[in-house]
Amino acid sequence: MRIVILSSSVYSESACAMAVRMAELRHVPVGALALSTLDRGTLQRKLEQWGVREVARYARTKLIPHRSDEKPQLRNPYLEPVLKHQGGVFRSLREVAAVHGFAIAVCNDQNAPDSIARLKAWSPDLVVFTGGNILRKQLLEVPRLGVLNAHLGLLPEIRGMSSPEWSLLQHIPVGVTIHFMDTGIDTGPILQRYEFPHAPQCESLSDLRNRLIAFGIEKAAEVVAGLDRGTIVATPQADLDKDHQFFVMHDWLRARAAERLTQSRLAAVPGTVNG
């Protein structure tokens, strides 16, 4: 099966981990299409999500060579087992591609005509989305099977942004859904749903999100293998006419979600009274 990865940057840890994990399962991508690291939209999203200090720290870990005696730094520490390589970690898709032998292309818009032409030249059966633009119909129609995404929430109950936090607030199990993308917001056919069993062990919302990302990459790679074997089929979502879409939440709601996470952690400790 011919697979292409879409990434928000050649330095995306999630994209690197996805490529490595699929290669380990003998599904080496034929190519990866990444947004330019200096793309204005990408930088703006990262600044909004992380803040200036965290973006600067992340850039240093990717661009400045680390000493041989220095512990590799990753924004998501739960990806380290997958990204370990020769005493360090893979820091870019180019490094992964050099080891596993696939092509890398960089663009400013994954929906642009030249990007679509590049994808068509790779003739993918499946595209795996790990980040980037909002995908348009002309891109979604390129791969034979579809564009696969790991959504950090259980569909159809939790669509849209801030999925782990909304799951906590809505008393819906935290989990990951592997699905095909369509032109809607997380409305595409479902391949597999997985509840995440370790949420009560998470120390913070960021810890929960990092663990979910690693969990989702592992499950997405397994689904890719299942699609190749023909053992997994997509199921259209029910209740598409109902409004299950959530948006970025206010800070006070995020704080309430963090409280819910703390309560679940305390409840999981034997002998602890959750007041």
Give residue-wise pLDDT tens across range 82-122. Answer: 999 998 999 999 999 999 999 999 999 999 999 999 999 99
pLDDT along the chain (275 residues), means of 10: 96 97 97 84 62 64 56 86 93 97 97 98 98 95 98 96 95 97 96 97 96 98 97 91 81 95 86 51
Place of tokens 């053992």: 231
Q: How far is CA 169 from CA 62, 162, 196, 198, 259, in A?
A: 35, 11, 16, 17, 10
Domain ranges of the chain: 1-144, 150-270
Given this model, what pLDDT does residue 224 score? 98
Given this model, what pLDDT does residue 114 score? 98
Given this model, what pLDDT does residue 54 score? 66
Q: Reply yes or no on domain 150-270 having CATH 3.40.50.170.
A: yes
CA–CA gap between residue 62 and residue 267 (Å, rounded): 39
pTM of the model as a whole: 0.89
**How does 241-261 read in b/e, with b if 16+ C-beta sit within 10 Å?**
eeebebeebeeeebeebbebb
Given this model, what pLDDT does residue 247 score? 83
